[in-house]
Every structure is written in structure tokens, then in C-alpha cells.
Amino acid sequence: MNSLGEEYDVCIVGSGAGAGPVAYELSKAGKSVLILEKGKWYSEKDFSKDEIKTCRRDIYTPKLNEEFHLSERYSEESQKWESKSSKKFGPSFWNGNCVGGSTNFMAAYFYRLKPKDFRLKSEFGEVKGANVVDWPISYEELEPYYAKVESLVGVSGRVKKHPNLEPRSTSDFPFPPLAESIVSELIDKAAFDLGFNSLPVSRGIISKSLNKRSPCYYSNYCGSYGCSSGAKGSSRAALLNSAVETGNCRILTESQVYKLNSDKKKVTSISYYDKFGNSKKARAKQYVVACQAIETSRLLLNSSNSFHPNGIGNSSGQLGKNLLFSAGGSGGGELNVKDFSNEIAKKIMQPGLFINRGFQDWYYINDKSFGAKAKGGTIDFLFEHANPIRRASSAKWEGSRLLWGKELKRKLEDDFINKRHIRFEIFNDWLPTDNCYVSLGEKKDKWGSKVAKVRLGYHKHDLKVASYLEKQTLKIMEKLKLHNVYSSISPNPPTNLIAGGCRFGDNPKTSYLDRDCKAHFIDNLYVTDGSFMPTGGSVPYTWTIYANSFRVAEVIKGGV
């Protein structure tokens, strides 16, 4: 193992979905790999189903009074962009600072992009006010790596043919579907009656053992929680543990990278603070930045010098531009067990099992009532989060009236024993625009680095598409005969679905990275988290980030 005084083959900043495949492939090939991770290293034994620790105190993310973001929103009242700090008001974009990053806490709904997602502009044309472009690679180029993720990271499910099914090189998933609730059957029946295609949703959660990982044990606490069995396909559990076992991969935790040092054409070293606050440097032949889209742009912008006054490799001015989130919305309703036989009611209330049902009938919209043909999206159905504290806190209100005593007790008993809350989530493209980007704020974090300022502009077309999908979703909800149905389509971005900022492309004037995710103007710098994506598709991003990172790993492996 190399010492820090020596040069590594590859140095990686971050350890999530964009970092894991590179570390895995390079270390397996006998290359020396150093990972610098700002968070701690947790294992399965450290993850519990403690709602206070995990969801109400956010112990896996930085303290916002020390490390924060600035967000800018447009005010119709003042007619200008107004900035707020996540110290008190604005959204926080931290999703897990630890080895494996936010993949430790994902719900792991795994969808592939589809061929048309790679040529959005060619297929659907320009959208005024949006910076829509085609990808420099095709679905066919990425498909083998989607398949690789299925086997190595572990994806469970079953392939069901439907009109919008993407091409596959394998006939089915390598892991059987996770155990499903009877609610899945209710959704299937409602879909059949409506003439829709109810699809089994593939999950990045293994249903049988893989290497040293145990299968899912249906704890009833999944999304937002670290997996205590190793079933969830986090970068840590699925890839980094194996990378470290080779003896070629070293992970330095609590290492805060604050600058990439460079000459005109190459990164020469990385500067970071160790866990004791000492400033140190690491050197490598190749450098990979994969520390989450916003933080990646921030780090690269902060890495300016006389050769690169606007951020390292930022000759085009594209660094930080065209930030993406996921457009859409969410909603839900209640299944009341009193509407069913005792046998079915008992099955409905069985905890731990998944719904795992989605709809992609409207992934492409060709409906005269909508207007011109357009890219649509995905609808997912899932159970409400099991967190009892949050559920009890919500139950204490009857409209604007606060309940207490016997009345509150009866309400809690009814909510926890007689009802099952079904949620839906809508995913559609967040179109890239000139008003959604990362820049450097005027404030600094505890390390003395300028914080990221995130402008949160959106395109009205996103809301139009989401509203169309909402109408289709409510038809399903009505068929299910749910009580107290609600829904919301919002321009507010989800803080856990972030991409863009370092889009890749063949033209160095309009992109920061080339098709292999190497910076156009820096010979040994790659970016492999979601930053590379020029458009996001209408699905969660994790599977695509994993697949692309495996693709880029082959390129890097051939160059060291």
C-alpha cells in the first residue's frame, strides 16, 4: 500500500455512487486508489432504526451552523432573486456524509433511462427557455453497464413487457423480486380495470445473499435509514468493502478536500484537512471528483488559480451551469381496513413488505389534450414512511384544531391500527435552464471555503408535464377507493435528487466534460457523480450514475 508521500494511480474525492465503481474496478485491476471522504465510516452494526437519530437529528450530515448552502429563489413580490441560508431557512442539500454517501440511505428505486432520454432534443425538439441537448453517448453504449450494476451492486425484480420497456441484454434481473404486500395486487387490479400497465419496480436491494451481504429482512424502515443487513446496494456495502479487501484501495475518512491544485493542463495535487484540522496534500496520476453534484461544482469553482481564474478547467464558463433536480410531485390516500374482509385487512396491515409498483404508460405523452408530443414521466406507489413519531405528530391535528386526551388517543388508535397510508411519487424531467445553477456564495464554511450558492429556477413546462401525470395518478387512486386523497405538484426541488452542473458533451464550448467525463481542458480530471448528466430523464438517478461510473472506470483503467 502506498504511503501518502507517494503518488497513487487514482485519487477519488467522495465515496458514493459515482466513486464506488471507479474504486472497485481500478483496485481489482491492481491499481493503487486513494479515496478522500469527509464523513465517517459506518458499517451495518452502526445502523439502527432510530427515528430520532436518523430522521429528526440528521446525524449523518454536517451541522448546518458549520457547513451550509445558500439558495436563491425568485420572488414575484419583489421581482428579484432572494437568497437564504440553510442555517435557518433555506433547503439543505446534504444527503449523507459518510463512506458510501447517500447510497446508504436511498430507497433504491432503480429505473434505467430509456433510449429517447439520450436524445431528448432530437426526439422532442427545443423547449423555449430550456437548454435541452442530446447526450454524447447512446443508450446502447451504457446498457452493458446497467447490466453490470444489476449483478455487482445487486438489483432485484422481474421484467414485465410493456410498450415503453427499454432494450435489455439480459432477459431478467439476477435477483428475484422482494416480497410484496397484497396492496400490490390491489394496484394491479385497478390498473387492469383502467387499461393501464402496472409494472413491478426493480430495487437496488438484494433478495438473496451476495458475497458477504445478507438479503433484505423487511424491517419496515428502508428509505432514509442505513441498512443493517447489507441488502441495500450502497456503494460502501456493494463495492468499496471489496475494493479495500484487495489491499489496493485506501479510504481516508474525515478528510475535507478544499482545493484541487493544478497547472495549466493537469491537476498536480489535492489539498485537504485531516480529522485533526491539519492541511495535507495527496498526489495521483488521475483524479476523480464524485462528491455530489452541488458540492462537486463548488469544489471545482473553489479550485481557481492564475491558470484557471474562474474555477479549474472552466474556460467555457459551463462549470456549475444547468443544474438538475427531479420535477414532479407527490400525494397519497388511505386504505381503511374496514372496507375489506378480515383476511385481506390483516394482509394489508402486515408491515415490512413492499408495494413495488410503478407506471410508465405516460413516459411519452402523445395526447391532443396536452398539446404537442412531449416527454412524460414515471409514477411510483409506496407505503407512507413507518416513522411513528412523525405519524403521531401529524395525527394530533384535525384540520387546524389540536387534539388531546381521549380524542387524540382514539385518533392515534385509528391511524395506526385501521389505516394504511399509500403514497405516490411523480418523476419527470427538470429541464435545464439558465436560472438553475451553482455559483460560489459570499459566505464561508467552518473550513474557510466559500459555500455553494444554488439558484433554484425551474421551467413551467416541468409543472405542465407533472400536472398531466397527476391526473392519470388520481384515476388510479380513485379506482383503489382510497380515503382522504391529496396531491401536490410543486416547483420546489427535491433535495435528494440532484444532477448536472458539469454536463458532458462533444463541444468544449457548451460542456465542461467530454464524453468520457474527463474535463475538456484538464488532462487528468474526471467527474463521475450525477454532475455529468445534461438531462435527467424521468426516473431517480442512482442506477444511471452507477452505470456511467463503471463505463468511465474502464477509460481511466486504460490510462494508468
pLDDT band at 5 (very low <50, low <70, confident <90, very high): low
Cβ atoms of 191 and 197 closer than 8 Å: yes
Give CA angle at 329 (462, 340), nearest 5°. 145
Cβ atoms of 377 and 536 closer than 8 Å: no
For CA atoms 125, 130, 136, 138, the dihedral sign is: negative
- The answer to whether residue 287 is domain-embedded is yes
Is pLDDT at 240 greater than 50 in this prediction?
yes
* Residue 300: all three cell numbers together: 471545482
More confident residue, 395 or 458: 458
In the prediction, which pLDDT does 187 show?
A: 98
Cβ atoms of 482 and 196 closer than 8 Å: no
CA-closest candidate to residue 457, choices 330, 321, 331: 321
- The answer to whether residue 91 is domain-embedded is yes
- The answer to whether residue 174 is domain-embedded is yes
- The answer to whether residue 295 is domain-embedded is yes
- The answer to whether residue 128 is domain-embedded is yes
Report how far residue 153's alpha carbon sits from residue 206's, in angstroms, rounded to the nearest whole number: 9
Is pLDDT at 1 greater than 80 in this prediction?
no
In the prediction, which pLDDT does 27 show?
A: 98
- The answer to whether residue 1 is domain-embedded is no
CA 95 to chain centre: 9
Tell me the percentage of the chain whose pLDDT exceeds 90.
Answer: 92
**Interstrand relation of 357-359 and 377-383 (parallel, antiparallel or unpaired):** antiparallel
Residue pLDDT, tens place only, 475-523: 999 999 999 999 999 999 999 999 999 999 999 999 999 999 999 999 9
Mean pLDDT of the chain: 95
**Interstrand relation of 450-456 and 267-273 (parallel, antiparallel or unpaired):** unpaired
- The answer to whether residue 490 is domain-embedded is yes
Average pLDDT value for residue range 107-121: 97
Average pLDDT value for residue range 191-215: 97
Report how far residue 105's alpha carbon sits from residue 97's, in angstroms, rounded to the nearest whole number: 11
Domain CATH number, residue 105: 3.50.50.60
In the prediction, which pLDDT does 190 show?
A: 97
Is pLDDT at 449 greater than 60 in this prediction?
yes
DSSP character at residue 98: B
CA 553 to chain centre: 20
CA-closest candidate to residue 336, choices 220, 481, 477: 481
Number of folded domains that form the chain: 1
- The answer to whether residue 2 is domain-embedded is no
Residue pLDDT, tens place only, 350-369: 999 999 999 999 999 999 99
Beta bridge partner(s), residue 427: 328, 378
Q: Which domain holds residue 451?
A: 7-557
